[in-house]
Amino acid sequence: MNTDATQQEQPGGPAVGWWTEAVIYQIYPRSFADSDGDGMGDLPGITARLGHLAELGVDAVWLSPFYPSPQADAGYDVADYRDVDPLFGKLSDADALIAEAHAKGLRVIVDLVPNHTSSAHRWFRAALVAGPGSPERARYVFRDGLGPDGDQPPNDWQSVFGGPAWTRVTEPDGRPGQWYLHLFDTGQPDLNWDNPEVREEFLDVLRFWLDRGVDGFRVDVAHGLVKQADLANWQEPQEILSGNDVDKPRPPMWDQDGVHEVYREWRRLLDTYPGERVLVAEAWVEPAERLARYVRPDEMHQAFNFEYLLAAWTAPAQYAVVTRSLEATDAVDAPTTWVLSNHDVVRHASRLGLTTGGGRLNGIGIGDPQPDAGVGLRRARAASLLMLALPGSAYLYQGEELGLPEHTTLPDEARQDPTWARSGHTQRGRDGCRVPIPWEADAPSYGFGPTDASWLPQPPSWAEYALDRQRDVPGSTYEMYRAGLRLRREHGLARGPLAWLSTGDEVLAFRNGGLTVLTNFGAAAVPAPTGELVCSSAPLDEDGRVPTDVTVWVRG
């Protein structure tokens, strides 16, 4: 792949460019590969393992944050946007990673966290010292409290992680003072995006990484930057999603129209750089029509399709979400994206093994109903093969190519996600999908690093998922992903168009790129399409039929 491709988006026409067809692999740096044996993944570890991703056949990597951070939210609390945390290495390690990825034909997308900084950021520290009414405080959302003593928060907003979204500070004179807004952890104060200084700063941060050669940015909480000016109360429970109804009033903290001007400005900057740099929105916005506004021709290039991730494992639900997603993005001439797992949700190999089968679940722990591992993996493989046959771009989360399940029995005392404490130990949170991944069945920490150390304990059952137990093993999940990715490219599946053949209650089937793709969601086996079977998520039965929870790709 030529990383300096110069194809440009056509004004007014459908988007063209590498990202429209790309499979992008999410690396969670804490848990991918540890080069120095301290139990924490790092950038040199990633660089040393990039060959795996080239062999797998993906086009790009997206790295979750590796910037200096107190790690109050696993690095999504950034103290310095222009450096690397010593936990993960040095700035020169980031440069080396980018260079090596490019040499291997892989693009590199980094995470940008613009909704909030860390409370350890120099700006926030200066705001605490400078006091009420100062320009330093105007970079954040500081307000006086309610009540005679100002001891009540300025409004009733709740943090996404649980508890109030406001924390009171102690003023420089030692008295209790103003409150600051944090939609997430107390260590993540929200920035004030009405302040031109904030806008300038992030343009400069974008330039910093663009100049270092990154191919794009995954934009954290892209729907949250701008708040409704009056910070009106919102009695509803806090949810990252905005609801299903296009006309339903939106929460005052999410999906405000003002966010789009920010992304238009960023897009203008990216377009001055050569080589098709991209912006990807992490926006928990429903329905698909509202999400599509983030990928209008002069805004971002892609947005994660969380509606797809949340869809139930039934033929009608999958058909509805696929058609709705394609229609919504077609309307703005953007490529559709697909995603089944990431570092914030229960891995799909476990999620689909629960009787609920879909929706958002905030972690699974000891004492919770446990997924059926066999059913989960079978459905996960069928879901992944269905996803990889859809037109558009797909996102994979590290370990899903191994069929890795959630760690659903992680001891609660090992948990690090702030959700667990902030929810009063009612929501287990996201640690179970963040456990360091297995590379070698018989090595310490399954080859994650040179020692046994692992910042979250790995389950004893993970040897069987290790890469070295699956590579070159016919029928393994890893070889299924490799074959699927190769065939996807050979048949131009990302380009579509998709033509439905069957949209019943039990079977979905469509044509794309000269293949017939069929998924059987029903209880009974169904006849396979005629032609040459080129890929399947599980073997056909003895009569050559497609069993329950299996996807097949047939040429002819």
The residues binding ligand NOJ (CB under 6 A) are: 73, 76, 113, 184, 220-221, 282, 343-344
Q: Minimum Å distance from CB 270 to ligand NOJ?
A: 21
Nearer to ligand NOJ, 306 or 319 (CB): 306
What distance in Å separates the CA atoms of residue 406 and residue 430, rounded to the nearest whole number? 9
For 422-471, strand residue ranges (E) read: none
Q: Cis omega before residue 70 (within 30°)? A: no
Catalytic residue among 220, 255, 307, 431: 220
Nearer to ligand NOJ, 161 or 510 (CB): 161
Cross-strand bridge partners of residue 191: 140
The strand pairing partners of 164, in sequence order, are: 158
Cβ-count burial 494-514 (b if 16+ within 10 Å, e if not): bebebeeebbeebbbbbebbe
Distance of closest approach, residue 358 Cβ to ligand NOJ, in angstroms = 20
Other beta carbons within 10 Å of 324? 17
Q: How far is the CB of 218 from ligand NOJ (least distance, A)?
A: 9
Q: Toward ligand NOJ, which CB reaches closer, 180 or 446? A: 180
Q: Tell how strand 526-527 and strand 545-546 pair up.
A: antiparallel
SS3 assignment, position 45: helix
CB of 113: closest distance to ligand NOJ in angstroms? 6
> Of 284 and 481, which has the nearer Cβ to ligand NOJ?
284
282, 286, 417, 431: the catalytic one is 282
Specify the residue, 220 or 406, whose C-beta has the smaller distance to ligand NOJ: 220
Contacts of 388 (CB under 8 A, 6+ apart): 23, 394, 481, 484, 485, 488, 493
Output the six-digit token pair for 529. Answer: 């399409």
Helix (H) or strand (E) holding 153: none
Extended strands (E) in 326-426: 337-339, 393-397
549 a catalytic residue: no
Q: How far is the CB of 183 from ligand NOJ (least distance, A)?
A: 8
Report which of 53, 48, 65, 31 is spatially closest to residue 446, judged by C-alpha positions: 31
Give 336's contacts (C-beta < 8 A, 6+ positions apart): 305, 325, 326, 329, 390, 391, 392, 393
Please list the helix, strand and coil fractions of the chain in percent, rounded to the nearest 5, in that order. 30, 15, 55
The single residue listed with the structure tokens 């794309």 is: 512
State how far Cα 431 lies from the chain centre: 14
State the minimum distance, in angstroms, from the CB of residue 65 to ligand NOJ. 9
Question: 19 or 397: whose CB is closer to ligand NOJ?
Answer: 397
The verdict on whether 276 is a catalytic residue reads no
Spatial distance between the Cα atoms of 279 and 9, rounded to a whole number of angstroms: 14
For CA atoms 281, 106, 30, 486, the dihedral sign is positive
- Tallying the residues shown for the chain, one arrives at 556
| Minimum CB–partner distance for residue 334 and ligand NOJ (Å) | 21
- Using the minimum distance from each CB to ligand NOJ, give the nearer residue, 184 or 446: 184
> Closest approach of Cβ 184 to ligand NOJ, in Å?
5
**Number of residue whose CB is nearest ligand NOJ:** 76
For residue 371, give Cα distances in angstroms to 106, 333, 376: 35, 39, 7
Q: What's the rounded Cα separation, in Å, for the pair 351 and 553?
A: 24
Comparison of 62 and 313: residue with beta carbon closer to ligand NOJ: 62
Q: Which residues are catalytic?
A: 220, 282
